[in-house]
Structure 1
Amino acid sequence: MDYVSQLVKNGIRTKIIGNQIHYYETVGSTMDEVHGLAKAGCLEGLIVIAENQIAGRGRTGRNWMSEPGNLLFSVLLKPSVDYISVLQPMIAICVAKGISSATNVKVDLKWPNDLMVESNKIGGILLESSVRDNILEYVVAGIGLNLKLSEKPSNENYDISDLNTFSDNAVNRSELLKEILENLDSYYSRINDPSPIFEEWKNLLGIVGSHIRFNSGEEKHEGEVIYIDENGSLGLKETSGQVKEFMTGDILEVYE
């Protein structure tokens, strides 16, 4: 029995998330599959899971390479546009808590959307929205977690690893997915009160008041993080004294 069938057999305690689960051996991208199903009229909470994806993507159009045995899924959400900015922080919290519950591995959140263990990236989150006639139709949340990698890819900005490297026991994908989905359902039911979610996320990031070295595209920056606002933007007071705001980028180093 595959891990998704095991999840369905055992059941998940959710009201919205996971009301439909589609599992594929191979897809181009789980996010693309959800986009197609959303346009066909599928309900909020739909999940697409794949064992393999051949055209996965990450932030700023980067390729997301994976192999069998990892956890790749996307979720269809239809929030009010007023709460769209809290989705990524909310999902990051839910994934980190789910990993901790299922594996006892402590996950650190790295702004803006990386999941880290002992300074190694083990996963990421990507959101894509569909807007028609200036009205938000839906959001697709893509989540990729490295559970076991035959080879550790190289990256100039951070090391890449997998959860099995840090877990005392082999990660149970069914249990891990169950924990994440139940967390997500619980937090999503409280999305109309976003301030506590933002505060929890900022506390988990733990970088306000710290100094960082930071790349934004081809530009390099260094300075003190003076705020992260409720849009997820990072305010950086550079060594020159100038304050700049960023929505995305790569933090290379954090120091006091």
Structure 2
Amino acid sequence: METFSNFCIYHYKEIFSTNTEALDLIDKGIFDETVIIADKQTNGRGRTGKRWLSPEGNLYISFIINPVGKFSEFVFITAIAVGHTLLSLVDNLGVQYKWPNDILIDGKKISGVLIERKSYSNWLVIGVGINIVHAPLQESTCISNYCNPLSNMDLLTMLIINFNKLRKQWILNGFYDIRKAWLERAFKLNELISIKLADQLLSGIFTGIDTDGKLILKQENEDLVYFDTGELF
């Protein structure tokens, strides 16, 4: 176990899932904020139970934090931390944030965020995957397409620094600045989109997110519909 910026870091060569390990660690009782990092996951998962392909060489981590405030806002804090980390590697990268939990470069997915918690616990688990040298899906990309790759531990160090800066900003100023920064790079903002909810598909103009992070969709009849879940197309 290592320690960096007040996080205890557990580094595994191979693991079932960093989020699963983090949730199990909460059950066992922890006292300090923690990061789980794995070189490879055998059963990584994304949002809505989708499998997150996890070959060795990319970044797979889970933060365990004890936040004060709305848990839902941390998906935006974390997305921006990933964005700042990527932008520090290469200037003028086409980084965008796709609601609710993806980070894109030039329209292709490079990172995703998965937030989970247990109802009886104040601890929050924030899973993050970033493609460093592998882009497992055709519509994805990786850091090595834009610059020399770096190790997962070096990338984690940069991500922790950016995450902590944004968390301090959030504690001082609330969600306003986070929301503004996210919207500046929002994917398909002010464009016609579709939102899939189970077997329902709704279309309209993506006009922004509200103060709770809900997506705002303006329909053809000018009605506004708010979403706290769904898939954006």
TM-score, normalised to structure 2, is: 0.89
Tell me how far apart the structure 1 counterparts of residues 226 and 9 of structure 2 sit (CA, whole Å): 39
Residue 11 of structure 2 contacts residue 37 of structure 2 at CA under 8 Å; is this kept in 1?
yes
**Cα contact 1:107–1:115 (8 A) shared by 2:** yes
User: For 1:137, what is the secondary structure of its paired residue?
Assistant: coil
Partners of 1:124 and 1:161 lie apart in 2 by 12
- Structure 1 unpaired stretches of 5+: none
Say whether the 8 Å CA contact 1:33–1:48 is kept in structure 2. yes
* Aligned match for 1:77, one of 55, 58, 65: 65
**Residue 248 of structure 1: which of 216, 229, 232 is its match?**
229
User: Structure 2: which amino acid aligns with 1:142?
Assistant: G
Written as runs of structure 1 = structure 2, the 5 A alignment for 1:178-193 is 178-192=157-171, 193=173
2:97 maps to 1:97? no
Could you tell me how far 1:110 is from its partner in structure 2? 0.9
Taking structure 1 as the reference length, the TM-score comes to: 0.81
**Residue matched to 1:174:** 153
Matches within 5 A, 1:86-235: 86-104=73-91, 105-132=93-120, 136-149=121-134, 152-154=136-138, 159-165=139-145, 167-192=146-171, 193-194=173-174, 195-205=176-186, 207-235=188-216
Contact 2:99 2:187 in 1 (8 A): no
| Larger RCO, structure (CA 8 Å, separation 6 or more) | 1
Aligned to 2:34: 46
- The CA deviation at 1:236 is 0.8
**Conserved? CA contact 1:131–1:138, under 8 Å:** no
Displacement after TM superposition at 1:207 (Å): 4.6
Aligned residues: 230
Q: 1:204 to 1:212 in 2, by over 3 A?
A: same
Q: Which runs of 5+ in 2 are unaligned?
A: none
Whole-Å Cα distance in 2 between the matches of residues 168 and 226 of structure 1? Answer: 33
The 1:73/1:191 distance shift into structure 2, 3 A limit, reads same
For 1:171-205, what per-residue CA distance to the aligned partner results, in whole angstroms no more than 9, with x for missing partners?
Answer: 34333221110011122223333221222122221
Q: Which amino acid aligns with 1:36?
A: D
> Structure 2 vs 1, CA of residues 172 and 47 (structure 1 numbering), >3 Å: closer, same or farther?
same
- Return the letter of the residue paired with 1:191: W
CA distance in 2, matches of 1:83, 1:215: 25
Q: Could you list the per-position Cα deviations for residues 89-135 of structure 1 after superposition, in whole angstroms to 9, with x for gaps in the alignment?
A: 11111111011113444421111111111111111000001222xxx
Give the Å deviation of 1:231: 1.8
Structure 1, residues 25-53: CA drift from partner, whole Å, max 9, x if none?
11111011111222222234200100111
**Paired amino acid for 2:142:** D
Alpha carbons of structure 1 residues 206 and 58: separation in structure 2 relative to 1, 3 Å: closer
